[in-house]
């Protein structure tokens, strides 16, 4: 009897040992083979296209925001000038802070000329085992022939317009006609502005807007709340010290000679860092500003007059003889760059004719096919303007050619829809 009991006890113990061993093996197998699914999500690239750059501001700065749950391995740009056969280059963007990346084109001022078009595309790769990669569409930058007008040479400092120690800020700056005419500027298209920075904070300014208008005011006693034309809207961060330029997204603010110019810059954030100080000049009554937290910057009221106005550079595409005028006879033939450029869908082309004669002005596509005749007649010497409406044409590069007597000139324009 005792032997039988001991036998059953031994069998029970062996069964338990076997069961525990199998359980451990199964547990080990389940642990070993239980892995998460591979990361197949591509990086997210957020970028505001540059669209155009004054030749004086080249090489342009490329800035973008790139995010991915696995982290970012690298961000880079591939680009070429005019067509892939002329130049095919690339450069890496530096991580400046958080998800922000930026770097200037690996090029020199002498590499580009007026009317050149830079084609570029941003790529990003994440840190996952799959090395997921994505890219933006191909963007176009038109190199413009803008002239440079600097107003203010003082060495004082101003917290405006980049008062990023606060969440929200609104700045308005007034420039009298004498400020701008001192640059020798005629009627023209303002395509960008610049500020000289001597202390930079990395804060991204959301809801960042630049607005323009002409005015009869000669001083500021409060914010002007109507009559604005927005030339830039989105995000912006001051990148470095020295002259920092902002190219307008819609380069279509027409400056009329001998008029006063009012400029507004405002932003609306939910965070703050430090001020980005800019160089400024004493100018009583020419700047009105306000900064505060949790008040949308572009709708702020109140504020106060600032004794110093930030030094500024205007990039202006000058146009002489914008209206057809045969009373003032030009001394030479000129075919001006169209404005606005890029355009959608209407742009204006101005030209000067130095002698009476037959004039033709035609538009061609990239294949050299004539798509529109704008002028084809005898004209007296004078300055003329004609509109080109491209409603029925698709996005792309087009050329316009002026011929009269011994004069011929061709220029490039960009239609973006």
| Residue 60: Cβ within 10 Å count | 20
Exposed (0-12), middle (13-18) or buried (19+): which is 277, by Cβ within 10 Å?
buried
Q: What percentage of the chain has pLDDT greater than the value 90? A: 54
The pLDDT of residue 210 is above 60: yes
Compare 61 and 91 and report the one with higher pLDDT: 91
Could you tell me where in the chain the CATH 2.60.40.10 domains are found?
A: 44-144
Compare 15 and 80 and report the one with higher pLDDT: 80
The pLDDT of residue 189 is above 90: no
Alpha carbons 60 and 361: distance in angstroms, whole number: 32
Q: pLDDT tens across 324-338, in order?
A: 443 446 678 888 888
Alpha carbons 342 and 289: distance in angstroms, whole number: 32
In the CATH hierarchy, which top-level class contains the domain 44-144? mainly beta
Alpha carbons 109 and 100: distance in angstroms, whole number: 26
Q: pLDDT tens across 142-179, in order?
A: 887 667 788 999 999 999 999 999 999 999 999 999 99
Lowest mean pLDDT among 8-22, 99-113, 302-316, 356-370: 8-22
Could you tell me where in the chain the CATH 2.60.40.3080 domains are found?
A: 334-415
Could you tell me where in the chain the CATH 2.60.120 domains are found?
A: 147-318
Instruction: Report residue 279's pLDDT band, with 50, 70 and 90 as the boundaries.
Output: very high
Please give the pLDDT value at position 276.
96
The pLDDT of residue 320 is above 50: no
Nearest to 168 by CA among 299, 305, 292: 292
Q: Which of the listed CATH numbers 2.40.128.120, 2.60.40.3080, 3.10.580.10, 3.60.20.10 matches domain 334-415?
A: 2.60.40.3080
Query: Does the domain spanning 147-318 belong to CATH 2.60.120?
Result: yes
The pLDDT of residue 386 is above 60: yes
Please give the pLDDT value at position 45.
96
The pLDDT of residue 321 is above 50: no
The pLDDT of residue 27 is above 90: no
Nearest to 93 by CA among 81, 107, 80, 105: 105
Token pair 């303002």 is at which residue?
Answer: 190
| Residue 113: Cβ within 10 Å count | 12
Query: Which residues lie closer than 8 Å to 158 by C-beta, 6 or more apart?
Result: 277, 278, 279, 280, 287, 306, 308, 309, 310
Q: pLDDT tens across 33-87, in order?
A: 434 568 889 999 999 888 777 776 788 889 999 999 999 999 999 999 988 876 6
The pLDDT of residue 260 is above 90: yes
The pLDDT of residue 397 is above 70: yes
DSSP letter for each residue of 305-331: EEEEEE-EEEEEEE-S--S-BSSS--S
Mean pLDDT of 203-216: 94
Phi and psi angles of residue 302, each rounded to the nearest 5 degrees, phi first: 85, -130
Phi and psi angles of residue 263, each rounded to the nearest 5 degrees, phi first: -120, 135
Cite the DSSP H helix spans in 34-125: none
Lowest mean pLDDT among 5-9, 93-97, 243-247, 379-383: 5-9
Average pLDDT, the chain: 85
Instruction: Report residue 306's pLDDT band, with 50, 70 and 90 as the boundaries.
Output: very high
Instruction: Report residue 186's pLDDT band, with 50, 70 and 90 as the boundaries.
Output: low
Peptide bond into 265 cis (omega under 30): no
The pLDDT of residue 112 is above 50: yes
Q: pLDDT tens across 368-380, in order?
A: 999 999 999 988 8
Instruction: Report residue 347's pLDDT band, with 50, 70 and 90 as the boundaries.
Output: confident
The pLDDT of residue 249 is above 80: no
Please give the pLDDT value at position 344.
85
381 and 354 in contact (C-beta within 8 Å)? yes
Alpha carbons 212 and 151: distance in angstroms, whole number: 16
Regarding beta strands 188-199 and 277-292, do their DSSP bridges make them parallel or antiparallel, or are they unpaired? Answer: antiparallel
Question: Can you give the pTM of this predicted structure?
Answer: 0.52
């Amino acid at each position: 009897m005792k032997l039988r009991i001991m036998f059953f006890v031994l069998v029970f113990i062996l069964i338990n040992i076997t069961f525990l061993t199998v359980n451990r093996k199964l547990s080990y197998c389940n642990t070993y083979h239980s892995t998460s699914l591979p990361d197949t999500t591509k990086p997210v690239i957020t970028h505001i296209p540059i669209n155009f750059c004054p030749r004086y501001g080249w090489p342009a700065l490329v800035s973008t925001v790139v995010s991915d749950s696995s982290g970012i391995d690298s961000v880079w740009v591939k680009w070429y000038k005019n067509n892939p056969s002329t130049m095919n280059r690339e450069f890496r963007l530096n991580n400046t802070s958080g998800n922000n990346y930026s770097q200037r084109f690996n090029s020199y001022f002498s590499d580009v000329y007026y009317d050149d078009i830079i084609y570029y595309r941003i790529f990003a790769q994440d840190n996952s085992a799959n090395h997921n990669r994505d890219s933006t569409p191909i963007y176009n930058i038109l190199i413009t022939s803008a002239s440079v007008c600097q107003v203010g040479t003082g060495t004082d400092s101003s917290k405006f317009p980049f008062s990023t120690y606060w969440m929200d800020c609104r700045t308005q700056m007034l420039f009298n006609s004498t400020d701008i005419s001192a640059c020798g500027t005629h009627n023209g298209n303002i395509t960008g502005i610049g500020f000289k920075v001597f202390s930079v904070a990395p804060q991204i300014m959301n809801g960042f807007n630049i607005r323009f208008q002409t005015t009869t005011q000669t001083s500021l006693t409060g914010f002007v709340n109507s009559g604005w034309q927005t030339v830039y809207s989105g995000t912006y961060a001051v990148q470095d010290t020295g002259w920092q330029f902002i190219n307008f997204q819609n380069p279509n603010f027409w400056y009329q000679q001998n008029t006063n110019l009012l400029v507004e810059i405002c932003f609306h954030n939910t965070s703050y860092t430090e001020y980005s100080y800019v160089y400024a000049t004493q100018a009583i009554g020419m700047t009105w500003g306000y900064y505060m937290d949790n008040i949308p910057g572009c709708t702020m009221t109140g504020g106060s007059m600032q004794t110093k106005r930030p030094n500024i550079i205007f990039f202006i595409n000058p146009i002489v003889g914008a209206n057809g005028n045969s009373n003032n006879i030009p001394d030479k033939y000129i075919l001006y760059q169209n404005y606005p450029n890029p355009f959608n869908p209407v742009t204006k082309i101005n030209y000067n004719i130095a002698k009476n004669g037959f004039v033709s002005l035609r538009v061609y596509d990239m294949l050299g096919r004539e798509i529109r005749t704008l002028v084809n007649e005898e004209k007296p010497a004078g300055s003329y303007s004609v509109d080109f409406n491209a409603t029925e044409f698709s996005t792309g590069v087009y050329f316009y050619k002026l011929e009269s007597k011994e004069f011929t000139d061709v220029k490039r324009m960009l239609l973006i829809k």
